[in-house]
Amino acid sequence: MRLGITLGVLISTLWILHDCNANRAYKAECGEKEVYVPFQEDSDEPERYRVCFSKTGDSMEYICPKCLIFNKITRSCTVSFNDGPAVKCTSEKEKLRDTDDTTCKGYYECLLEGDKLVPKKKTCDGYFNVLLRDCVPLDEYFCGDDGGPDCDNPDFQDKNWVNKESCNSYYECVEDVRVFRKCPSGEIFDAHARKCTKEVKDKCKAEESAPGLLVDLETMCKGKVGKFLADPYYCKAYYYCIDELTPYWSTCDPDRYFTNGTCSKTRPNSCTCEDIDWDKNGKDSEKVPDNSNESKYYVCRKSKLPEEKTCPSGTKYDPVKNYCYE
């Protein structure tokens, strides 16, 4: 394994903290998958995901904690970031993927109407490349959301293909075997040339779930190999840095929180809405005080990011009576 971390040592370390929510081993061609990188293949069950712990073994299936779904951008179980409109224009002529389109041809172009940017739905003759944010020929891209190109198809074999989640890596179909590869530092995959080329600023950009995303998988483990890092969105989970490019996500036991580098019963101040039992209370929303600041509180909604609120200057929040007072 990279950087000399052995499989046995890593598994032993992870199981010290890990709540085993896997319910069965699942046959999968792990040789095609990157080890310790969670993946999802069934969009009808967004709370389920799988992980390969070796290239030769079977993958293990996991189920997200209640009210969370698997997010491919953060490689974790988390809340929904998409509370607003699916398409948000930030500049004129900007092109954005149509997330409801299953043909990989639909997109939106942001056009100026008066003083407002308005997304206009359009269709590519080829496919819409989500990394380049532009239309490309059919033979430079593949449609589908199964984690990679279909190397069983002769038309895909003996060629390199884009990795839709990363500009700095790609897939190679070695006959009918799919191989994940990474570009050298400072290079990105050029789908037209089918090879890695020198990186050009803003030429290729991976999609984010939401503006200001707090998780950057490509940089979070730099200089932190072997460290456990808190999940900024869920106080009962953490990332383990297998190497500088592979943060592995997992959860603590249900009655534990991740704090000071380990799972314990100590509830950290970063916790906001995680302990609410939505099935039991039957509510759509609930207000929770900020334990570190008596003038702040959070509005919690099921499966959504908490919304921070601040009382007017000179007042405090009363969690019992649910108002700010002097």
Number of domains, the chain: 3
Give the residue numbers spanning the domain of 119: 95-198
Task: Please check whether residues 101 and 181 belong to one and the same domain.
Answer: yes
Span 230-246, pLDDT tens digits = 999 999 999 999 998 89
Task: Please check whether residues 78 and 215 belong to one and the same domain.
Answer: yes
Q: Per the domain annotation, does 270 fall within a domain?
A: no
Q: Per the domain annotation, does 271 fall within a domain?
A: no
Task: Please check whether residues 117 and 188 belong to one and the same domain.
Answer: yes
Tokens of 103: 């043909």
Task: Please check whether residues 8 and 61 belong to one and the same domain.
Answer: yes
CB atoms within 10 A of CB 73: 16
Q: What is the SS3 assignment for 162?
A: strand
* Of 289, 255, 252, 247, residue with least CA distance to 272: 289
Task: Please check whether residues 228 and 193 belong to one and the same domain.
Answer: no
Q: Per the domain annotation, does 273 fall within a domain?
A: no
Residue 79 and residue 65 in contact, taking contact as beta carbons nearer than 8 Å: no
Query: Of 8-22, 206-220, 284-298, where does mean pLDDT reach its minimum?
Result: 8-22
Q: Per the domain annotation, does 89 fall within a domain?
A: no
State CA 269 to chain mean position distance: 24
DSSP 8-class letter at 289: E
Task: Please check whether residues 78 and 213 belong to one and the same domain.
Answer: yes
Q: Per the domain annotation, does 87 fall within a domain?
A: no
pTM of the predicted model as reported, rounded to 2 decimal places: 0.61
How far is residue 14's CA from residue 239's CA, in Å, rounded to a whole number?
10
Task: Please check whether residues 110 and 183 belong to one and the same domain.
Answer: yes
Residue 32 and residue 178 in contact, taking contact as beta carbons nearer than 8 Å: yes
How far is residue 97's CA from residue 175's CA, in Å, rounded to a whole number?
31
Q: Per the domain annotation, does 310 fall within a domain?
A: yes
Which value, to the nearest 10 degrees, does the dihedral of the CA atoms of residues 65, 272, 14, 71 take? 50
Question: Is residue 6 very low, low, confident or very high in pLDDT (cuts 50, 70, 90)?
Answer: very low
**17: pLDDT strictly greater than 50:** no
Residue 29's alpha-carbon distances to 161, 173, 179, 309, in angstroms, are: 18, 14, 11, 47
Residue 311's alpha-carbon distances to 89, 103, 231, in angstroms, are: 32, 48, 27
Task: Please check whether residues 169 and 227 belong to one and the same domain.
Answer: no
Q: Per the domain annotation, does 269 fall within a domain?
A: no
How far is residue 302's CA from residue 283's CA, in Å, rounded to a whole number?
9
Q: Which of 198, 232, 252 is the last residue of a domain?
A: 198
Span 193-249, pLDDT tens digits = 889 998 887 788 776 544 456 788 888 899 999 999 999 999 999 999 999 889 999
